[in-house]
């Protein structure tokens, strides 16, 4: 078996650490590249979410307006029984006055 000197051993250790450092640096560069891609994708997602928030806000405002309109129609519309009564009264008046109904 060959005898290894301290200097040779130190040189081997230094070379191994250099190789290891090179591999570690390579891996960190790969990780950094992947993180950059992820960050870019997250920026795009944030932009899309912002657009969706605006659309949801618009839809909520439209829905509120529709609710107010429906409430106003309920409050300002004629009761079906009153409408039927009014229809009968108009029909009676048309008959008495000899007017042909528009229906």
Number of domains in the chain: 1
pLDDT band at 103 (very low <50, low <70, confident <90, very high): low
Q: Is residue 91 part of a domain?
A: yes
Give the rounded percent of residues in the chain with a pLDDT score beyond 70. Answer: 97
| 61 in a structural domain | yes
Q: Determine, yes or no, domain membership for 39.
A: yes
Residue written as token pair 């079906």: 80
Domain contains 30: yes
In-domain check, residue 103: no
Average pLDDT across the chain, whole number: 91
Predicted local confidence at residue 51, as pLDDT: 95
Give the model confidence (pLDDT) of 6-22 as tens digits.
Answer: 999 999 999 999 999 99
Q: Which of 67, 58, 91, 32 is nearest to 102 (CA)?
A: 91
**Residue 54 forms part of a structural domain:** yes
Q: What is the dihedral of CA 86, 89, 91, 93, to 10 degrees?
A: -140
| Domain limits for position 45 | 6-97
Higher-confidence residue: 77 or 102? 77
Is residue 76 included in any domain, yes or no? yes
99 contact partners, CB below 8 Å, separation of at least 6: 93
Residue 14 lies in a domain: yes
Residue 75: both structure tokens together:
């409050």
């Amino acid at each position: 078996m060959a005898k290894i000197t301290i200097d040779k051993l130190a040189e081997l250790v230094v070379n191994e650490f250099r190789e290891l450092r090179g591999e570690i640096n390579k891996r960190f560069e790969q990780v950094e590249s992947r993180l950059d891609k992820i960050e870019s994708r997250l920026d795009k997602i944030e932009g899309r979410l912002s657009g969706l928030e605006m659309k949801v806000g618009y839809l909520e405002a439209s829905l509120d307006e529709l609710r107010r309109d429906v409430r106003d129609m309920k409050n300002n519309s004629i009761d079906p029984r009153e409408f039927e009564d009014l229809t009968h009264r108009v029909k009676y008046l048309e008959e008495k006055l000899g007017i042909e109904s528009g229906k």
